[in-house]
Amino acid sequence: MEKKKITIVGAGNIGSTLALLLARRETADITLIDINEGVAKGKALDIMEASPILGFNSHVVGTGDYKDTANSDVVVITAGFPRKPGMSRDDLLFKNYEVVKSVCEQIKRYSPEAFVIVVTNPLDAMTYTALKVTGFPKERVMGMAGVLDSSRFAYFISEKTGISVENINAFVIGGHGDDMVPLRKFTTIAGMPVTNFLSKEELEEVIERTRFGGGEIVQLLRTGSAFYAPAASILDMVLAILWNKRKILSASVYLDGDVGEYYGASGLCVGVPIVLGKDGVEEIIKLDLSDEEWADWRKSVDSVRKLVEKLPL
């Protein structure tokens, strides 16, 4: 059986961590590409030199040439500038727009059948950029944010309740910004409402921490942003596609038609629950939100819209 091919654009913290995680799964061969060719080549070689010890047979190659990415099944875009302390994700808009645009022109040329997973911030605006520049069907272009935000939410709930992360099913939708929407009603512990375990005040505390989860890491690291949990979150999405899991997870996808109208976000990419499988975004789920959640959702969508309107697209 032919192995799948995954290209990771950007061999920085997230890209290289993802390459190692993916290689260990032996599901695909991996091409790491970076504007700094030496970094891509060096990290790929370093990962391969771990393969005899860790015992994986995937191949990771580094390059600076898009020809080497040809015919990828999945392309993950992590290229761009990360946040510095005091910067919002939105401050990155124009710098990263140019990066994502140039990367997508190459993806379109060399891997016209690929699924594209965008990680570069500001996430929803960059996902929209990828969709427009590649011109790929909307089912094949998605942004990774909701899996990460939901994982942070789940971890914080676990920490607060003392219950295993394995029992926690947490969900965050909306734009990947400070007004993301951690859901109260649809977050459960072993199938029971989270409110059976946490008081309203405790839950609000956890929600607030989730919203600023990325910023908390930026403040601590001082020289970059989070990468272990983001890389794990991308892995979850890649495997959902390659293994045709039809997994329900939160991702930033293009909303239009009936579902766009339902969410009041037509023409935008925003985080919603999707079913992810071999055809990419196979379904978008309509959630029956509470009044409070709808209010938060609308605020979040407004923030995404304001950013997208600034884009020269």
Which residues belong to the active site?
Answer: 176
State yes or no: 12 annotated in a binding site.
yes
Least CB distance to ligand APR at residue 104 (A)? 11
Radius of gyration for the alpha carbons in the chain, expressed in angstroms and rounded: 19
**102 binds ligand APR, rule: CB under 6 A:** yes
State the minimum distance, in angstroms, from the CB of residue 17 to ligand APR.
Answer: 8
Spatial contact of 296 and 305, defined as CB atoms under 8 Å apart? no
CA gap 279, 203 in Å, rounded: 36
Q: Are 284 and 259 in contact (CB under 8 A)?
A: yes
Comparing CB distances to ligand APR, the nearer of 11 and 251 is 11
Among 8, 32, 75, 82, binds ligand APR (CB under 6 A): 82
Burial string for 218-245 (b: 16+ CB within 10 Å, else e) reads beebeeebbbebbbebbbbbbbbbbeeb
Cα 101 from Cα 270, distance rounded (Å): 19
- Residue 1 DSSP symbol: -
The dihedral built from the CA positions of residue 215, 224, 30 and 165, taken in this order, carries a sign that is: negative
**Considering the rule CB under 6 A, would residue 14 count as an interface residue with ligand APR?**
yes
Contact between residue 57 and residue 98 where contact means Cβ atoms under 8 Å apart = no
Q: Does 31 bind ligand APR (CB under 6 A)?
A: no
Q: State the minimum distance, in angstroms, from the CB of residue 79 to ligand APR.
A: 3
* Site size for ligand APR (CB under 6 A): 29
Region near ligand APR per CB under 6 A, out of 35-43, 132-140, 165-173, 236-244? 35-43
Q: Which of 61, 79, 173, 238 binds ligand APR (CB under 6 A)?
A: 79
Segment contacting ligand APR (CB under 6 A): 8-16, 157-165, 196-204, 254-262? 8-16
Q: Return the number of the residue (9 or 133) whose C-beta is nearest ligand APR.
A: 9
For residue 244, say whether it is annotated as part of any ligand binding site.
no
Pick 72 or 188: Cβ nearer ligand APR: 72
34 marked as binding residue: yes
213 annotated among ligand-binding-site residues: no
Stretch 37-56 residues interacting with ligand APR (CB under 6 A): 39
- The DSSP secondary structure of 49-80, one letter per residue, reads TTHHHHT----EEEES-GGGGTT-SEEEE--S
Choose, by CB under 6 A, the member of 11, 32, 238, 269 that binds ligand APR.
11
13 annotated binding-site participant: yes
Q: Return the closest-CA partner of residue 273 out of 179, 167, 168, 187.
A: 187
Ligand-binding site membership of 71 (annotated): no
| Residues 159 and 197: beta-carbon distance below 8 Å | no
Neighbours of 312 (CB within 10 A): 8
Question: Segment near ligand APR (CB under 6 A), from 65-73, 160-168, 179-187, 225-233?
Answer: 225-233
Q: Write down the H helix ranges in the chain.
A: 13-25, 37-48, 51-54, 93-110, 123-134, 146-161, 200-211, 213-221, 228-242, 257-263, 291-310
Q: Quote the longest CA-to-CA distance of the chain.
A: 55
- Please choose, out of 5-13, 132-140, 261-269, 271-279, the segment that lies near ligand APR by the rule CB under 6 A: 5-13
Tokens (6 digits) for 293? 């959640």
| Residue 96 in marked binding region | yes
The residue number whose beta carbon is nearest to ligand APR equals 12
Q: Can you give the binding site for ligand APR, defined by CB under 6 A?
A: 9-15, 34-36, 39, 78-83, 92, 96, 99, 102-103, 119-121, 224-225, 227, 230
- Residue list for the binding site: 10-15, 34, 83, 89, 96, 119-121, 152
- Residue list for the binding site for substrate: 83, 89, 121, 152
